[in-house]
Amino acid sequence: MDRRAEVVIVSSSAARGTAEDLCGPVLRTWLEGRGLRVRVHVVPDGPEVLTVLRELTEDSHTADGPRLVVTSGGTGLNSDDVTPESTARVLERQSPGIMHALWAQGLRKTPTAAMSRGVAGQVGRTFLVNLPGSRGGVKDGMAVLDPLIDHISAQLEDVHGHGEDRSVTRSGDEVLPAEGAASPASSAGFAVSASSVIPTSSVDPVGSAAQGAEPAGAAGPGHDAAPADDAARVPDAASSPPETGEAGRGRSGAGAVLRAGITEEPLDGELARREVADPGCGAVVGFSGVIRDHDGGRDGVTGLAYSAHPSAAQVMAEVVAGTAREHPGTRVWAEHRIGALAVGDSALEVAVAAAHRTEAFAACSALVDRIKASVPIWKRESFADGQHTWVGLDA
């Protein structure tokens, strides 16, 4: 069987070139780390998905077929979300247990993960699986699938028995669990080692580079398309909270969390930066996620209305604590605004102080990424022509 993986990104905006695919690079890095040659295909939602899947699996009963086909996107309830139906028409046998595990992983962070209609299974000696179109959903999928890939590959090649080494695609670098993922000792029973870095976006979830008010929750079926330019290690949200006091003064110990909240009040970036400032810190980095007047190539955005799941405050606290824990000596402030916001308003303020600028920039970038990927907040965009759209309900 060819040591090859095919990644299919289903996103009309990415296919048109009006948005950048963020999930393909994440999947490529993971699969190449597993010893597979990877090709990434970007297709629009709709009938082209079935055409591409048939082409990629036409040799699956021969040695020339790919070992793995992973799709990302098109699993929601929109009328053109047909990835599950297209995949089901290609499959010979389904693996519902895989999907139950993926749903369970996503539901640890957001109830919208249940809206994903993905399927998984095999055709010939190729395994296909549908992942959501968000980075958070993709990383959840990686955390579930990584410890299973070798076993799946061995069974597809008719390797029998339970005691032999089934390392068909193993490499030295393995995937980190997504935030909140099951640990080796957890009841979910998925053992995932932590030794590699998974790329994520350092882009504003609510601000200047792409429509600033992108949804913060990212574990469901919608596709996450926005600029990306950095990498961050996925946090372990299950660890103990950070220390405060002297440990947060840019010297030693876990970082100090000064604020981790969600509010309906206007945000004050200057206040955040003043609060994290400390005589032991030589660098203060601030980030403001500001609402802009366009999104995804469409002008005329007049405002946004943010809504938060009841668990959002707890998830926010865990995300900020995890970032502070991974960046010792920092002082961290983060606050996300919900409710009605106008163009020019700040939806997210993050401030980090550290002894040196490298640590401050790194912690600030990582925290913005993780808030976007994990905190269950979504938005209603309003346009000058009277139309509106929801973003994040399927993310």
- Express each pLDDT in 95-130 by its tens digit: 999 999 999 998 888 888 889 999 999 999 999 999
Domain-embedded: residue 228: no
How does residue 160 score in pLDDT terms, banded at 50, 70 and 90?
low
Residue 217 confidence (pLDDT) above 60: no
- Return d(Cα 202, Cα 196) in angstroms, integer: 18
What's the chain's length in residues?
A: 395
Task: Return the pLDDT at 119.
Answer: 96
Q: Kindly state whether residues 146 and 11 are assigned to the same domain.
A: yes
Task: Return the pLDDT at 252.
Answer: 52
Q: Is 35 left (phi over 0), alpha (psi -120 to 50) or beta?
A: left
How does residue 370 score in pLDDT terms, banded at 50, 70 and 90?
very high
- Return d(Cα 69, Cα 47) in angstroms, integer: 18
Task: Return the pLDDT at 2.
Answer: 56
Question: Which token pair is 180?
Answer: 């909140």
Residue that terminates a domain, selected from 116, 140, 157: 157
Give percent above pLDDT 90 in the chain. 53
What mean pLDDT is predicted for residues 161-173? 41
Residue 274 confidence (pLDDT) above 90: yes
What mean pLDDT is predicted for residues 75-102? 94
The H-or-E segment that residue 29 falls in is helix 23-33
Residue 188 confidence (pLDDT) above 80: no
Q: Kindly state whether residues 260 and 151 are assigned to the same domain.
A: no
- Return d(Cα 4, Cα 6) in angstroms, integer: 7
Q: Kindly state whether residues 9 and 148 are assigned to the same domain.
A: yes
Of 20-29, 172-181, 231-240, 351-360, minimum mean pLDDT range: 231-240
Task: Return the pLDDT at 328.
Answer: 93
Compute the C-alpha angle 131/169/82, nearest 5°: 20
* Burial class of 1 by CB neighbour count within 10 A (0 to 12, 13 to 18, 19+): middle
Compute the C-alpha angle 120/27/36, nearest 5°: 85
Residue in the block written with tokens 């990302």: 72
- The residues, any chain, with a CB within 8 Å of residue 358's CB and separated by 6 or more, are none
How does residue 379 score in pLDDT terms, banded at 50, 70 and 90?
confident
- The residues, any chain, with a CB within 8 Å of residue 351's CB and separated by 6 or more, are 269, 272, 273, 275, 276, 284, 285, 286, 287, 332, 333, 334, 364
Task: Return the pLDDT at 253.
Answer: 65
How does residue 189 score in pLDDT terms, banded at 50, 70 and 90?
very low
Question: Which token pair is 316?
Answer: 């926010």
What mean pLDDT is predicted for residues 1-12? 87
Residue 192 confidence (pLDDT) above 90: no
- Return d(Cα 346, Cα 376) in angstroms, integer: 18
Domain-embedded: residue 15: yes
Full DSSP string of 316-341: HHHHHHHHHHHSTT-EEEEEEE-EEE
How does residue 392 score in pLDDT terms, banded at 50, 70 and 90?
low
The H-or-E segment that residue 26 falls in is helix 23-33
- The answer to whether residues 102 and 116 touch, using CB atoms and an 8 Å cutoff, is yes
CATH number at residue 334: 3.90.1170.40
Q: Dmax over Cα atoms in the chain, in whole Å?
A: 66
How does residue 388 score in pLDDT terms, banded at 50, 70 and 90?
confident
| Mean of per-residue pLDDT scores for the chain | 78
- The answer to whether residues 224 and 135 touch, using CB atoms and an 8 Å cutoff, is yes
Residue 191 vs residue 356, higher pLDDT = 356
Domain span including residue 107: 4-157
Residue 218 confidence (pLDDT) above 50: no
Domain-embedded: residue 170: no
Per-residue pLDDT of 242-272, as tens digits, reads 333 333 444 456 789 999 999 999 999 999 9
Residue that terminates a domain, selected from 135, 157, 179: 157
CATH number at residue 43: 3.40.980.10
Q: Structurally, how many domains does the chain consist of? A: 2
Domain-embedded: residue 168: no
Task: Return the pLDDT at 378.
Answer: 85
Nearest to 267 by CA among 344, 160, 179: 344
Residue that terminates a domain, selected from 157, 182, 200: 157
Domain-embedded: residue 90: yes
Residue 163 vs residue 234, higher pLDDT = 163
Q: Kindly state whether residues 13 and 149 are assigned to the same domain.
A: yes
How does residue 20 score in pLDDT terms, banded at 50, 70 and 90?
confident
Domain-embedded: residue 131: yes
Q: How far apart are the first and last CA of the chain?
A: 34
Q: The whole model's pTM is what?
A: 0.48
Task: Return the pLDDT at 271.
Answer: 94
Per-residue pLDDT of 287-345, as tens digits, reads 999 999 887 778 888 888 898 888 889 999 999 999 999 999 999 999 999 999 999 99
- The answer to whether residues 361 and 330 touch, using CB atoms and an 8 Å cutoff, is no
What mean pLDDT is predicted for residues 149-168? 65
Sheet (strand 346-354) strand order? 256-263, 331-337, 346-354, 283-290
Query: Under DSSP, is residue 107 helix (H, G, I), strand (E, B) or coil?
Result: helix
Task: Return the pLDDT at 381.
Answer: 82
- Return d(Cα 35, Cα 237) in angstroms, integer: 28
Q: Kindly state whether residues 121 and 266 are assigned to the same domain.
A: no
Domain-embedded: residue 126: yes
Give percent above pLDDT 70 in the chain. 74
Residue 48 confidence (pLDDT) above 70: yes
Domain-embedded: residue 261: yes
